Chain A
């Protein structure tokens, strides 16, 4: 099966609509970034807390937000995973010293609003093994030794967290667990309750660590781009490296811009996705450049832009196949991956589309413009002795 065989589209003749589209997207993204005062950083980069809670019943985002904002200062964002009853609650954190208090505040506020337990009882949905063992130890002392008590407590939390995915429902559901006797059930009923939710995860990042992660991510990405530029310049010519890096930069700016336009958060996983799309886009560009390099000696009679156009056409079926396949993978992740990976897969979906056309409509035209510019300089000013630019000399050999 073959889709594209010996295509000969005039890509470079139709570059302007794409370049204009790119410029519009870039301008819209940058405009949105300026209007909103920079990207919307997640807690990884600005500090804050995110609590992941799974509710038994569906509790509306507003209900949670209202309950929490009565106790917790600052902006509170509640996001729901549409496929489950998982909720991500983000709060602000301005000072490292408030980190522990912020955690406790979220836990306490959730307990008092949604827990439904009474004072002095332990919450079987959220306590650890040691606390359960403490409650059981006395009452079952006659029939169990310490090790058995510990094992029993571990079996209970294990059942809760693996079989029941965090939500026990009620104490009676424990009756099937190994070692849970009717006596244990009655002890637990007396001393414990089951909150209709479980706190499944915490991310607490102090502002200092946030700032550090932000500068680290930025530095690492910029240095990685510089490294690629140097390598491509070494393997091809400087302008190839520059064109590739500009194209990749263009993809990143557009993706970050779209994140700002759709009001999505930039988190550490989104950075991983941005790095992934940098990899894909760079890969795409190099494949085209490599073909240009190979075609240049073979097509000496042709003009430089027809060589580039032919190269794009020759690599077209590979470009579309590879990009199509990775696009499908990223789209699968976007649709099935859940709330945690949403930002990650969104960046990939956008990045693959932008990254694919940028090698054709951004990186390649830059090469041609450079050639034309060098060409015109060569004809306008006579070359000084020994100072002929290398690129111009090569361009001459193409003609």
Chain B
């Protein structure tokens, strides 16, 4: 063996070893080999099972909440400065795209107080632009720069909350990321491999988890109309009506009149956990932060024998009479089983969502379905590759072995590249893999047919091999580069599935140029190196 050939042999061997290491590491036992394989060759959700969710943060909710807060503050500030007003109200944008159109309408500002009104708004409400509608009516619009900030913050806070909840569920492999693109900035992609009960996770992620503990001012009433009638048709200042959650066994609705401002909210919680009461019923108990417990203690002390309501997402969970001063802890009862109690504890501690969430897409592959897809793909792959190898061996005899070796090495390099890059193998990826195998076979066929042609034209064996590889090389480069070019576009502009196809294909094509041109040629050279006077070639 001459030295160039030896160097090539060492190079090919090194590549094989590096690839094998990438795929199976350095296993000491069969079990370790299987473990390394599973760790390195990561399967996509469609193959291994799991859920993928695309959810959209309803940013307009945050804009409405911001406007509501502004209205409350505005009322206080205007009162303080002695500016009388008629009506303060906001519009109600329904769609995400209309979030920026939020506006507050201030009607009936006395003409002589317009200057004072302008001063209040411009000095204390810097996020808003003031436009006059008529002499006494004004419109406040949200500044575009502020709107951008609010959008971004809302999405970021939602993402943090969702991450907290996913972590709390112990979904170790799950990922949460913002979807790219200018149109999709308020969309979040959640991938959860191997998730057991996606419906439950979806409910947890979507829960607003807005906890309020509020003073009860009256009730219960059987419906909204009765509640209003009892109060002379109009709600007393600083109160609101809320409905109590239907309890099993009870009939009809019950409504309560609550204080508008909560004594304690979800933000005041130090932690929450599932626990059992004396009868073994599950509940969620919580402890309050230091500051909140002082406040809560003062309130309960001065309100003994009055009622308190635990309100979650604007639904009353329970109403209880204050027996004694309560300081730092409380519990939410009537929840159900342990899973519900711990889910509630999780949503409470992970923070509330600043805006509602709507699911745009869900793809769930159950564990048994994923296993089937792998099995089907594997079967089709084995049958396909088996037929290809058989035909190559029959048609090209000894040279068919070269092609088969090159094919196997191509598959090894592809798998190793996926392992080293941390890419995942998906169903579209398998499609890319099939195309790669097809093109690998094609490269070999191109070269072998060329060698045969040269042999037919009367060239010697070594010269024919040289010419065959040389002439087929240009064709192989052209076909491969064309496909790589198209893959670049597919990767840049395609959806996730199409990207998976493109990545696998590009890796496979690069590997193929190496195996079909370099490795296959090396094997030929090696076979021919012993005998310079060779007159026949098994091809």
* Residues of A participating in the B interface, judged by any CB pair closer than 8 Å: 1-2, 5-6, 52, 54, 96-97, 99-100, 103-104, 107, 127-131, 133-134, 137-138, 157, 161-162, 165-166, 198-206, 208-209, 212-213, 216-217, 219-221, 223-228, 230-232, 235, 268-269, 271-273, 275-276, 278-280, 282-283, 286-287, 290-291, 294, 314-315, 317-318, 321-322, 324-326, 328-330, 332-333, 336-338, 340-341, 344, 348
* CB pair A228 B486 closer than 8 Å: yes
User: DSSP majority for the A interface?
Assistant: helix
* CB pair B388 A325 closer than 8 Å: yes
* CB pair B360 A276 closer than 8 Å: no
Give the distance in Å from the alpha carbon of A161 to the alpha carbon of B373 in the complex.
14
A-contacting residues, B63-92, CB 8 Å: none
* CB pair A328 B368 closer than 8 Å: no
Give the distance in Å from the alpha carbon of A324 to the alpha carbon of B483 in the complex.
21
Other-chain residue from B363, B435, B481, B482 in contact with A202 (beta carbon distance below 8 A): B363
* CB pair A166 B366 closer than 8 Å: yes
With A130-B200, A220-B498, A338-B376 known as contacts, the answer to whether A279 contacts B486 (CB < 8 A) is yes
* CB pair B371 A96 closer than 8 Å: no
Give the distance in Å from the alpha carbon of A198 to the alpha carbon of B199 in the complex.
15
With A137-B338, A282-B479 known as contacts, the answer to whether A161 contacts B471 (CB < 8 A) is no
Give the distance in Å from the alpha carbon of A129 to the alpha carbon of B367 in the complex.
13
With A134-B337, A269-B428, A322-B445 known as contacts, the answer to whether A161 contacts B366 (CB < 8 A) is yes
Counting CB contacts under 8 A, is B210 at the interface?
A: no
- Give 15 new A-B contacts, CB below 8 A, not counting A99-B358, A213-B495, A328-B388: A2-B452, A96-B56, A96-B359, A133-B339, A201-B364, A216-B498, A223-B489, A224-B485, A268-B428, A269-B431, A271-B497, A271-B498, A282-B482, A283-B483, A294-B471
Counting CB contacts under 8 A, is B438 at the interface?
A: yes
With A231-B482, A287-B446, A340-B373 known as contacts, the answer to whether A130 contacts B339 (CB < 8 A) is yes
Counting CB contacts under 8 A, is B501 at the interface?
A: yes
User: DSSP majority for the B interface?
Assistant: helix
Give the distance in Å from the alpha carbon of A384 to the alpha carbon of B388 in the complex.
55
Min CB distance B12 to A, Å, is: 25
* CB pair B361 A220 closer than 8 Å: no
* CB pair B368 A165 closer than 8 Å: yes
Which residue from chain A places its CB closest to the CB of B484 in the assembled complex?
A231
Give the distance in Å from the alpha carbon of A340 to the alpha carbon of B426 in the complex.
14
Interchain residue pairs with CB less than 8 A apart (6) = A1-B394, A99-B359, A130-B196, A201-B366, A227-B489, A286-B482
* CB pair A227 B431 closer than 8 Å: no
Give the distance in Å from the alpha carbon of A129 to the alpha carbon of B200 in the complex.
11
Which residue from chain A places its CB closest to the CB of B51 in the assembled complex?
A202
Give the distance in Å from the alpha carbon of A291 to the alpha carbon of B490 in the complex.
28
* CB pair B486 A272 closer than 8 Å: no
Min CB distance B118 to A, Å, is: 41
Point out the residues of chain B lying under 8 angstroms from A341, CB to CB. 376-377, 380, 427
Give the distance in Å from the alpha carbon of A104 to the alpha carbon of B365 in the complex.
16
The 4 A-B pairs with the shortest beta carbon distances in the complex, nearest first, are A128-B197, A329-B384, A224-B486, A166-B368
Counting CB contacts under 8 A, is B441 at the interface?
A: yes
* CB pair A131 B339 closer than 8 Å: yes
Which residue from chain B places its CB closest to the CB of A213 in the assembled complex?
B495
* CB pair A276 B475 closer than 8 Å: no
Other-chain residue from A137, A332, A344 in contact with B383 (beta carbon distance below 8 A): A332
Point out the residues of chain B lying under 8 angstroms from A332, CB to CB. 380, 383-384, 387
* CB pair A328 B494 closer than 8 Å: no
Point out the residues of chain B lying under 8 angstroms from A203, CB to CB. 362-364
Counting CB contacts under 8 A, is B126 at the interface?
A: no
Counting CB contacts under 8 A, is B173 at the interface?
A: no
Point out the residues of chain B lying under 8 angstroms from A272, CB to CB. 427-428, 431-432, 497-498, 501
Point out the residues of chain A lying under 8 angstroms from B379, CB to CB. 336
Give the distance in Å from the alpha carbon of A321 to the alpha carbon of B394 in the complex.
12
Residue picked from A228, A314, A324, most chain B C-beta under 10 Å: A228
